[in-house]
Structures are given as C-alpha cells and as structure tokens.
Structure 1
Amino acid sequence: MQVIVLGGGLMGSATAFFLARRGVRVRLIERGHIGAGATVASFGNIRRTGRALEQLPLAQRSLDLWSRAEELLGRDVEFRATGHLRLIFDEASRADMLRFSEAARPSGLELEHLEPSEIRRRFPGLGPSAIGASYSPRDGSANPRLIGPAFADAAACAGADITAQAGVPKLTKTEAGFEVTTAQGTFGADVLVNCAGAWGAEIARHFGEPVPLAAHGPQMGVTEPLPHRILPVVGIWSQDSGAYLRQVERGNVVFGGGVPRVPVPETGFAQYDPSGLAVQLAKLVQLCPALADVAILRQWSGCEGYLSDMLPVMGASGSTPGLFHAFGFCGHGFQLGPGVGDTMAELITTGTGTTPITAMSIERFAA
C-alpha cells in the first residue's frame, strides 16, 4: 500500500507518523512549510473539558499519546500535564458545567468541582470573583510551534517521505488510485488522506462531497515575560466567547478567546482585529487580575476550518474508494491531533477502528 497524506499540520504529520510506524509507505505533502498553518497559530490547549461528547473517546486516546509524546517523537514538545482550570462566574454556567460533568463521566473524564475557597487555596490570584470552577488534573498544554515538525521528522525517521513547499496540488483519480501533481513533482498512491485543514473542503468538493465549511481566525496574543506563577491552563465556563490563558515556562502568558473569530478571506491569510482587544483583555483580567498592567508583545491569528455543526470531518469518503478525510476541527483540534493520526492509521490499515468516529463521518452532509 502507498499512501499520500495531504497537509503537513498536526493532523497530517501525525497521520503520516502512525502510518509509517505500521510499515506503510507514506508520503506527506504540504503546500508550504510543515506545521506552519493553523497548528502554529493554535493556543496549544490540551483539554477534554467542554468538548463535544462525541469527541471524548478520541480525546481520551489522544491524551494517552500526548503523555508519551517525548518517547514517541524523540524530543520534548513541551507537553505538560499542568491541569485545566475552568472558572465559573454565573449560575447558568455552573449548570452547564454540572450537566457536562455528568454526561462526560462515562467517557472517563472525571472533573473536580471546586468552591471559591478551594480555588483561592489551590490557585491563589486566579478568578477571585469566581463562584466555582471545574478542574481536570491530567490535561494541560504543549508547544504548537514544535509539534508539527516533530511528528514530520519522526515520520521521516520511520520511513515516510516528506514533500514541503509543494504549492497547491492537482488531484486526479486514476485506475490505480490517485495522482498528485505538485511543484515538487508528481506522485501516485493507492490511498489519499485529506488533512488539509481549512482547505480540506476544496478537496472533498473535488471528489463530489461538498461540506458547509467556513474559515475563521482566532484572536491570539502573548504578554511580556513575567515571574512564573500560573501553573494550569485557565478558561471560563461562559454563555458567550470565553477567554483562556496559559503561562509558558519562559514566563510569557499566551491568551485568546473572549471575542468572536474573524472571517478569513479567500486568500487564506487570517488577520488579527485589534478592535476587540479591550473586551478580550477585560475578560483576561477577570481570570487573573495581576495581568492588568502587563505589556502585550504580539497578536496573531490563523486560518481554521469550522463546520456548521462544530464537529470535524473524519473517516472514509462516502463517494471515492481509497479517499479518507480528517479536517475541519473547528478550532478544537490541537488536543485531538495525535489521536486523529493514530485512529486514521488504524482505519486505513485495518478497515476498522477501536475509537468511535461515526458522528464525524462526511456522509452526514450527503443529504
């Protein structure tokens, strides 16, 4: 079997890695630089809290792989299980947390429910006006700048071919399988895996499977370095756009959320919209008042694909034998990445999978 994986972000590079580990001949093709798309623009959050229930088995599989990342990849990608603290500031959000906590328990996610006194004792300085919180100690974060190249390099060490700077590929279905023409040459394969992120919908449409995907850009930023005091990833249970933050080991605080995502034009270049910064920062200060007087060093965005039902497309094509999809992760894909790669490799090589992904099938849009 020869497999071509389109897209060199976290999903594609992880899929190539796990295929190569299974002894499959695989080529990873990326139109630009490996890991330089939505992956590098990510917040780096590794959370199961608040995730769609249909994704929790995949998230559990992925978390187990994150915990082995250094062993699997041969380098530190800064995965730290520092915990995920999600603060509550109103009763409607507390009710949301309790409902989610009960529904998620059968999937293996056990949330601690914290009262204000417990928040102050365990996480001083965070959410002083919070009326409660949930805490997931096994979750955490990793470095988005490191993970894509790490998976691609490990895939290459396992025998995969890596083709970057390939430009926009031309795809052809042949009697033997697929032909992919790029700026770096033409390649053939029995199997084609669509991990092209926000551009995944174009590939699906090319093979007769249109999906309702829109490209949007998250609003991200980072502060000056500060003394390291914030250990967990911090978020909000909120009825609107909840903000989130984490402090990296070098001291900078990375933040996002709190404002709507910005539509991305057809060029694919996402823009940061400074008009929402004041609202965003007010929500960050609600999470951590000590951030009120710090300097913002940089702001950015990235091109992410969002499906109409906020679930990704993942699994076999409904129209084209040998075609598989894993795209459109709706801004929630970073945590899922290793699990997506492992699950796709299992599905492609065995024809089945041990992790349920039926709810994410592209055939849900066929009607």
Structure 2
Amino acid sequence: MGPNVDLVVSSSGFPRETEVVVIGGGIVGAATALSLVERGIPTVLLEKGLVGAEQSSRNWGWCRRTGRDVRELPLINLSMQLWDGMNARLGSDTGFRITGIAYAARSEEQWQRQQRWLEEARQYGIHSDALTSAQLRQKLPDIDFPVQGALYTALDGRAEPQKAAPAMVAAAVAKGLNLQQHCAVRTIEQTAGKVGEVATERGAIRCRAVVVAGGAWSRLLLQGCGVTLPQLKVLSTAFRTAPTDYDPGCCISFGLVSLRKRLDGGLTVASSSNGIADITPDSLRFGARFMPAYRAERQGIRLRLGQRFSEELFHWRPGRADKISIYERIRVLDPAIDARIVRKVAANLARVIPALAGVSIEQSWGGLIDSMPDAIPVISPVAPVSGLYLATGFSGHGFGIGPGAGQLMADLVTGSPPSVDPHPFRLARFTDGERIAAQHWL
C-alpha cells in the first residue's frame, strides 16, 4: 500500500464542456492545471483514482539541480524559483525547504564525472561545489563509508510528495479548477484531426485541448490516439522510518542508500541501485531504444520476467468509450515490492550511518517510474492531433521539475512565449533523426 496522501475534495458538478482537460492528478498534471486556471483558462482535471496517489507521492521528495541532465537545467532553475514561492502561492505547506543535496562519489571515475558535470552546469548558473572526502565528513560526521568526494548544491531542497500535488490541486480548485476524481478517461475523441472531447466513465466532456499527464499510463492513452510513445516502466522501492532525532541536514545519496528528513520527523530512505524493469510486451517493442541507457545503468536496474508480462499482454488495451476500461479496473498503480530490497537498503543504511542501525521501518512502498530512452521528459504538442499535448516520461526525476514542467505545458497550450526552450522535450525527437542518448553524471 502506498503512502497516505493528503485528500482533496472533488468539485460537485460534472462538466460537459471546458477549454482544457488535464488527464492525471500527479505533480505535473497538478502544476499544469494550477498554471492554466491562474491564467483564467477554464480547466478540468480528471483523475481515475486520487490526486497524487501514484508515483507523485512515492518518490524521494528531492527538489534538485544536482547532477541533472544538462538539457533539464533551465527547467529546474525555473522550477526551483517556483518551489521557493510555492507555500505562499498556495497558502498551504508543501513541505518545501532549502536544505542542500549531496551525491557522494564512491569511485574515482564517478568523482571525475561529477566534476565534468560541474563545469557544464556553471554555464547555466548552477552553483554547486565539489566537496572533498574530508569536507563531506565535516558536514556529515556520522557517516562511516569510503567516498572520493561529493557533488553538493546548497540551494537544492526537498518537499513532501504526499502533500505537494494535493496542495497544488486544492489551490487550483479554489481558483476555479473543476476536479473530478475517480473519473477515468476511456478515450480521447478526435474530429477532423482535432481534439473534440474526452469520453469518461461518467460521460463526455467537450474541449479545445487535452493534456495527457498520465505518468506510467501515458503510453496506453497515446496508443488510443494512434500515437506511439516509447515509454517503459521501472519499479522503484522506498520506505519511511519512525521519527528519529537524526537529521543529516541535507538530502544525501551514496548510491546504495539515499535519505532525507521528513516533516513528520522520520526519514525517507531509498536507493538508486535497486530498480526493477519488468519485461513486458512494450519491452520487446522498445527494448532496442532503451538498451544504451540500460547498459549505462545496468548495475542499478534489474530485468525481471514475471506476471506483469501476461497481465499487460492480455489486459492492457486502449479504452473504448462505451466499455469499462483498464483505467477503471486499476484505479491506483500499487506494485508489490520485494521485501529483500527493503532489508538490503536498511542494512546499507546501518552500514553507511551506524547511528541509524535498528531504526524502525514504519512503511515501505513501490512506485512505477515513467521512463524514456534518453531519461528526459516529453513536454510537447502531439502531432498530428491538433489540441493534444503530452507531459510525461520524467524518468524518476519529475517531482523536482514538476512546477516548471506545468508552467511550460500551460505556455504551450495557451500559445504564450515558453518559459524555457521546449525543443529538447519535443515528442518528435524520437522520429526526426536526433541521436537519442541519456546523460549519466552521478
């Protein structure tokens, strides 16, 4: 079972017409809807389950510039500006705090990669530091683990995933958003190559534009429109501890274990080296595209063939307007986790920070990350369907750039000058001959 997410009350009246429909109540859909209603655009947000109940509440909660793909740096700069004023903007606490983020380098090769990133990042106004091993130990005296150094960004921070998307949506509702939860979109209907309406389990909504921000569901939603999205899912595992006096001060990753302090006094603990990629029919369709990224991350991602292959082969189908869909049968993606991973990460936590040996684990959960072959998102119109837009594929680092992604998506929908250059995030990069490659710095 996933984390307990702050609840948002749905709007009372079901709309039959609007300007924009946003599909998906995760962090990106929430930020998009908020940005649209703040511009006076009539908007409906449709969520098949509850706002923030899938990966947007199951991630680490880091808001980081540190080590990002350089193509994302303008977007994270925008997002951090937005995070900094978010609590005041919403009138509620998302948990955002500036704490700093550090990524320890366990090898000389990793240390050299981090320093090369540092040189590139400075061109984008990123103020990070390369800490020596001694400097890191001075900042974190309780660690007991050999490191070469660390990449550290003092102005990075954290927020609470179980609070952030719900707080954005609640504020958007107060500003005019129509929110419909437990309302699955079955199909996106087109007329003469243009979006005309969305067919939901409660009836149709006529609209001028549709934003698909469906996370791991986006591939299937786009397939129903005749559009191919090369997207796969990666299972990530995390857990939270009981409240503890221990506070590392910053968010810190050692690869085999990562942690941050929570508002409730506990720690959120995870690892970047325990992802599971279940082999599915889409793995066969898109495997060649993902292979370069998998080779680079093979020590952190394990391939697994199991029940998910047959589930998706026989049951994951695009919806039909007149029939119950897979989106109604699976309201919330709540994947089972491997308890051995939790035990392994807990053991690594005690190994790296002996003071945390024996800390009580209160809850553990899994989440399915929506991944792209180059590990950067798609924030883009969807050709050739006029009025269809896509914001997905954030590849495990969408929480931090969610506010900026939502603002950029709203720019594209409304035809406003884009807040950042959207070219790197266009869907057409997978078909226009661009060399697709992931960048690995950490």
Alignment of 1:259 with 2:245, yes or no, is: no
* One-letter code aligned to 2:222: A
User: Which residue number corresponds to residue 35 of structure 1?
Assistant: 52
CA–CA distance in structure 2, aligned partners of residues 9 and 260 of structure 1: 23
Residue 288 (structure 2) pairs with residue 271 (structure 1)? no
Give the residue type in structure 2 aligned to 1:145: Q
The residue aligned with 2:61 is 44
Q: Note the C-alpha offset of 1:127.
A: 5.2
Given the superposition, is the C-alpha separation of residues 249 and 26 from structure 1 closer, same or farther in structure 2, using an over 3 Å criterion? closer
Structure 2: which amino acid aligns with 1:30? Answer: E
Bigger mean CA deviation after superposition, 255-264 or 129-138? 255-264
> Offset at 1:155?
1.0
Match of 1:231 in 2: 249
1: CA distance between counterparts of 2:168 and 2:203?
Answer: 23
Mapping of 1:347-366 within 5 angstroms?
347-366=412-431
Query: Aligned AA for 2:271?
Result: G
Q: Is there any run of 5+ residues in structure 1 with no aligned partner, and where? A: none
Change (3 A) 1:34 1:170: same
Measured in 1, the distance between the counterparts of 2:98 and 2:388 equals 35
Residue identity matched to 2:198: V
1:70 and 2:84 matched: no
Give the distance between the partners of 1:246 and 1:255, measured in 2 at CA.
7
Find out whether 1:222 has 2:240 as its counterpart: yes
Post-superposition shift, 1:128? Answer: 4.9
1:224 Cα deviation after fit = 2.2
Aligned with residue 244 of structure 1, among 255, 258, 273: 258
Match of 1:339 among 404, 412, 416: 404
Q: Secondary structure at the match of 2:346?
A: helix
Specify the alignment match of 2:384 in structure 1: 319
Between 120-129 and 18-27, the greater mean CA deviation after superposition:
120-129
Counterparts in 2 of 1:287 and 1:46: CA distance versus 1, 3 Å: farther
In 2, Cα distance between the equivalents of 1:297 and 1:8?
Answer: 26
Do 2:379 and 2:390's aligned partners in 1 also have CA atoms closer than 8 Å? yes
TM-score, normalised by the number of residues in structure 2: 0.78
How far off its partner does 1:308 sit?
Answer: 1.8
Map Cα deviations across residues 237-295 of structure 1 (whole Å, 9 max, x no partner): x5xxx531112243211111243323463464422112333442344345423222222
Task: Answer yes or no: is the 8 Å Cα contact 1:28–1:163 preserved in 2.
Answer: yes
Contact 1:178 1:192 in 2 (8 A): no
* RMSD (Å) for aligned C-alpha atoms: 1.9
| Structure 1 residue 200: Cα displacement | 0.8
What is the TM-score of this pair, normalised by structure 1?
0.93
Name the CA distance, whole Å, in 2 between partners of 1:60 and 1:306: 22
- 1:103 is displaced (CA, Å) by 1.1
- Alpha-carbon distance between aligned partners in 2 of 1:71 and 1:290, rounded to the nearest angstrom: 36
Answer whether contact 1:313 1:325 (CA < 8 A) is retained.
yes
Task: Point out where structure 2 has 5 or more consecutive residues left out of the alignment.
Answer: 1-17, 279-307, 313-329, 433-442
Partners of 2:152 and 2:334 lie apart in 1 by 35
- 1:119 matched residue in structure 2: 136
Q: 1:170 to 1:204 in 2, by over 3 A?
A: closer
Match of 1:145 among 159, 162, 168: 162
- Structure 2 counterpart of 1:247, which letter? K
2:273 maps to amino acid: V
Report the AA paired with residue 65 of structure 2: R
Structure 2 partner of 1:295: 360
| Structure 2 Cα separation of the partners of residues 37 and 255 of structure 1 | 18
What's the offset of the Cα at 1:132?
Answer: 1.3
Q: Is contact 1:234-1:287 (8 Å) kept? A: no
Quick check: 1:174 aligned with 2:191?
yes
Percent sequence identity over aligned pairs: 30
Over residues 331-357 of structure 1, what are the superposed CA-to-partner deviations in whole Å (9 max), with x where a residue is unaligned? 110001110111111121125413022
In the aligned structure 2, how far is the partner of 1:245 from the partner of 1:336?
19
Deviation at 1:170, TM superposition (A): 2.2
SS in 2 for 1:63: helix
Secondary structure (helix, strand or coil) at the match of 1:303 reads strand
Q: Please give the secondary structure, in 2, of the residue aligned with 1:49.
A: coil
CA distance in 2, matches of 1:64, 1:288: 33
